[in-house]
Structure 1
Amino acid sequence: MNNLGISLVTIIIIAANVIISIKGFDDRGFFEKFKFNVGSIKRGEQIRMLSSGFLHADISHLFFNMFTLYFFADFVVAKLGSIHFLIIYFGSLIFGNLLSLYFHKNEYWYSAIGASGAVTGILYAAILLEPSMSLYMYFIPIPIPGYVFGIGYLLYSIYGMKNKVGNIGHDAHFGGAIGGYVITLILYPSLFQTNLGYIGLLSIPIIILFVLYKTGKLK
Structure 2
Amino acid sequence: MERLLQSPITLALLLSNVGVSLYAFTDPSLIRELSFRPHRTRENREYYRFLTAGFVHGSGAHLFVNMITLYFFGPWLETFLGAGAFLVLYFGAELAAHALTFAVHRDDPDYAAVGASGAISGVLFGFCLYRPLAMLGVMFIIPMPALLFAVLYVVVSLYAIQGREPGTRGGIAHEAHLGGALTGILLTALLDYPRAVTSFLREMQGLLG
Both structures adopt the same fold (TM-score exceeding 0.5): yes
Q: With the length of structure 1 as denominator, give the TM-score of the two structures.
A: 0.83
Q: Distance in 1 between matches of 2:140 and 2:134?
A: 18
Amino acid at match of 2:89: I
SS of residue paired to 2:13: helix
Deviation at 1:60, TM superposition (A): 1.1
Query: Does the 8 Å CA contact 1:92/1:121 hold for their aligned counterparts?
Result: yes
Q: Distance in 2 between matches of 1:110 and 1:13?
A: 26
SS of residue paired to 1:144: strand
Amino acid at match of 1:148: L
Q: Distance in 1 between matches of 2:86 and 2:2?
A: 15
* Bigger mean CA deviation after superposition, 50-59 or 28-37: 28-37
Which among 158, 179, 182 is matched to residue 183 of structure 2?
179
How has the CA–CA distance of structure 1 residues 37 and 70 changed in structure 2, closer, same or farther, with 3 Å as cutoff?
same
Query: Does the 8 Å CA contact 1:4/1:75 hold for their aligned counterparts?
Result: no
Deviation at 1:33, TM superposition (A): 1.0
Q: Distance in 1 between matches of 2:90 and 2:178?
A: 14
Q: Within 5 A, what are the aligned runs for 1:114-125?
A: 114-125=115-126
How has the CA–CA distance of structure 1 residues 139 and 93 changed in structure 2, closer, same or farther, with 3 Å as cutoff?
closer
How has the CA–CA distance of structure 1 residues 169 and 62 changed in structure 2, closer, same or farther, with 3 Å as cutoff?
same
How has the CA–CA distance of structure 1 residues 81 and 73 changed in structure 2, closer, same or farther, with 3 Å as cutoff?
same
- Corresponding residue for 2:3? 5
SS of residue paired to 1:36: coil
SS of residue paired to 2:3: coil
Deviation at 1:140, TM superposition (A): 5.4
Q: Distance in 1 between matches of 2:171 and 2:74?
A: 26
- Corresponding residue for 2:35? 35
- Corresponding residue for 1:169? 173
Which ranges of structure 2 fall in alignment gaps of 5 or more residues? 205-209
Question: Identity of aligned pairs, percent?
Answer: 33
Q: Within 5 A, what are the aligned runs for 1:105-144?
A: 105-138=106-139, 141=142, 143-144=143-144
Q: With the length of structure 2 as denominator, give the TM-score of the two structures.
A: 0.87
Deviation at 1:100, TM superposition (A): 0.3
Amino acid at match of 1:154: V
How has the CA–CA distance of structure 1 residues 194 and 58 changed in structure 2, closer, same or farther, with 3 Å as cutoff?
closer
Q: Once superposed, which parts of structure 1, at least 4 consecutive aligned residues long, lie more than 6 Å away?
A: none
Which ranges of structure 1 fall in alignment gaps of 5 or more residues? 200-219
Query: Does the 8 Å CA contact 1:92/1:175 hold for their aligned counterparts?
Result: yes
How has the CA–CA distance of structure 1 residues 102 and 196 changed in structure 2, closer, same or farther, with 3 Å as cutoff?
farther
Q: Distance in 1 between matches of 2:162 and 2:14?
A: 31
Q: Distance in 2 between matches of 1:16 and 1:197?
A: 36
Deviation at 1:137, TM superposition (A): 2.1
SS of residue paired to 2:20: helix
Amino acid at match of 2:28: R
Pairwise CA RMSD? 2.1
Query: Does the 8 Å CA contact 2:38/2:108 hold for their aligned counterparts?
Result: yes
